[in-house]
Chains A and B, each alone.
Chain A
Amino acid sequence: MNIVVLVKQVPDSGSERKLDPADNTVARASADNVINEMDEYAIEEALTIKEAQGGEVTVLTVGPDGATDAIRKALSMGADKAVHVSDEAIHGSDASQISAVLAAALQQMEYDLVVCGAEATDSQMSVMPALLSERLGIPQLSGARKVTIDGGTAKVERQTDGGYWALEAPLPAIVSTWDTINEPRYPSFKGIMAAKKKPVETKTLADLGLDASAVGLANAATQVLDFAGRPPKGEGVKVTDEGDGAQKFVDFLASQKIV
């Protein structure tokens, strides 16, 4: 079983994140960058499947040179090797363009299963499985809280409001995972040391047979015109409960015509 895990490096969702006023793209260079939290669940799921069924787990990332940190994290958890697509021309690409790069990279790899996170915490789009399915013609089993690989068939419980949908499709397929699916392992000291020696292949657009005109800010099908910080909320009212807190709360609701 050859499994490819898609891993993205993102600005830490717990620290301040910014757009770069120079070109309205995510300010990645100045950010506190981490592996997309949701991708750790994808890695864990891939490793679990490999441990049960044999095979190899390859990490695939599209991102700037610094994204090697996210790759090392995935390798230290136990992935076998990595492919890192890095090219200046990719800067400012939108989700659709990134999917074209990932698709081109996947076409040069052997895979039975692609696993990715259910969403990237910077874009919060949750569209990569749909985009890749469309581009590669492989089935999309997205939003999984459970994955079972049964011979040549992938079975997924797609998480929904108040339940799930049972999905089934033939391999090769792409699956995305929510944080309800497993508990990602922590890299062991041995894992961290071993990761330093695992192969990371770096590829450019040219290596993928892609032209720079297929990617990048200037060629994106969407454009950020401007941005601003959310206007600060006006000072709210704060009361200390002295037996009358509930009353004051209900009075507030009444003043807002809610009760």
Chain B
Amino acid sequence: MAEVLVLAELNPAGGGVRKTTLEALTAARALGEPSAVVLGAPGTAAGVRDQLAEYGAATVYVAESADIDDYLVAPKAEVLAQLVSEKSPAAVVIPSSPEGKEIAARLAVKTGSGFLTDVTEIAADGTATQAAFAGATIVHSKVTTGTPIFTLRGNSVTPEAAPAAGAEQSVSVSISDAAKQVRVVERVVEQKSNRPELTEASIVVSGGRGVASAENFSIIEALADSLGAAVGASRAAVDSGFYPHSFQVGQTGKTVSPNLYVAVGISGAIQHRAGMQTSKTIVAINKDPEAPIFELADFGVIGDLNTVVPAATEQINARK
């Protein structure tokens, strides 16, 4: 069977692989037999090999070097290009993070291949599905030149275990000076949260301008915590200083595709829809019966969020 390279995206040191990696391994199986590629500082692969094997990696290529960690993106693209030329895979699948998309772009130039970003599905014949224009248009595309490179949007595919050998193969690396131009001086974490990461979460509860203040966002957080959800925000909420920018959902924020999206006090502007339209189930809570968000909602409550949300949180907690 044809080999498909899957770039593993890892949590910070010791945190295992990200769910997006398991999704990519699952999606890659449509095209052939997945091999995982682990790139990072020495010691990176030790804790993740078993998990990669469990989700279908026949081989786990491991390239470990301080250079990979010390410089931005370019070294990873270089190692991946080396593997593509050695293994001639049928395709390369990469999780669609900012870094993943940049690696895909560089790999495409290096290998003379076409690349498609943010795909939500890959068919056996290599046809990829993408959601264009804020999710309003569904597009089918194909790579017609070189080794097809896809970045897979998070939460588009349900990870399924498919145990495989996971035979570890180390790849010798020597990163060129050209790939060592952008030094990562420091990685700074400003907000530590115990909630799931927004783009990975299976439930997202978002608040908009209707929440009315930063303090009042605590009712959004409380509902989120009762559901084990991530918290999101509309741009109006972010611009008003209610919640930090890194939680913004929409055109200029994160694109999320959870099982459940709860929009609270959000009108549903087209740019907000851009980031949440593909969610499987959508619930809206809004006092304005004409709010466009109701057009998208599977379930809508017309009411004041200040009464509905705390009451719902209490009931959900009581059921536990």
**A residues whose Cβ falls under 8 Å from a Cβ of B:** 13-14, 16-19, 24, 37-38, 94-96, 99, 119, 121-122, 124-127, 129-131, 133-135, 137-143, 158-170, 173, 178-180, 220-230, 233, 236-241, 245-250, 252-254, 256, 258-259
Contacts and interface: CB of A to CB of B under 8 A. Distances in A.
A240 B302 contact: yes
Interface in B257-276: 259-260, 269-271, 274
B115 A222 contact: yes
24 contacts: A13-B271, A38-B252, A121-B251, A126-B102, A140-B74, A140-B182, A167-B72, A167-B182, A167-B183, A169-B182, A222-B145, A224-B141, A226-B139, A227-B132, A227-B140, A229-B136, A229-B138, A230-B137, A236-B294, A236-B296, A236-B298, A245-B307, A253-B227, A256-B281
B308 A124 contact: no
A161 B197 contact: yes
A95 B105 contact: yes
Interface in B150-202: 178, 181-193, 197-199
B285 interface: yes
B137 to A, nearest CB: 5
B246 A161 contact: yes
Interface stretch (B34-42, B54-62, B309-317): B309-317
The B interface, classified by DSSP as helix, strand, loop or mixed, is mixed
Interface string B61-99: 000000000001110010000000000000000000010
Interface of B: 72-74, 77, 98, 101-106, 108-110, 112-118, 127, 131-146, 178, 181-193, 197-199, 203, 227, 245-246, 251-252, 255, 259-260, 269-271, 274, 277, 281-283, 285, 289, 294-304, 307-309, 311-312, 314-316, 319
Nearest to A119: B252
A127 B102 contact: yes
- The 4 A-B pairs at the shortest CB distance, nearest first, are namely A241-B303, A221-B114, A246-B311, A221-B145
Contact of B185 (A166, A228, A239): A166
Contact of B191 (A37, A163, A229): A163
A224 B115 contact: no
Contacts of B117: 125, 127
Contacts of B146: 221
A179 to B, nearest CB: 6
Given A230-B137, A236-B298, A246-B309, 9 more contacts: A13-B270, A124-B118, A127-B102, A167-B182, A170-B181, A178-B252, A227-B137, A233-B295, A240-B301
Nearest to A237: B299
A259 B319 contact: yes
Nearest to A164: B188
A19 B132 contact: yes
A245 B301 contact: yes
Contacts of B178: 137
A169 B193 CA distance: 31
B252 A165 contact: no
Contacts of B193: 162
B289 A240 contact: yes
A119 B96 CA distance: 14
A186 to B, nearest CB: 16
Nearest to B310: A246
Contacts of B142: 222-223, 225
A99 B94 CA distance: 21
A160 B73 CA distance: 14
Given A222-B144, A228-B138, A241 B105 contact: no
B234 to A, nearest CB: 14
B133 A241 contact: no
A237 B103 CA distance: 43
A228 to B, nearest CB: 5
Given A134-B106, A225-B140, A180 B304 contact: no
A237 B298 contact: yes
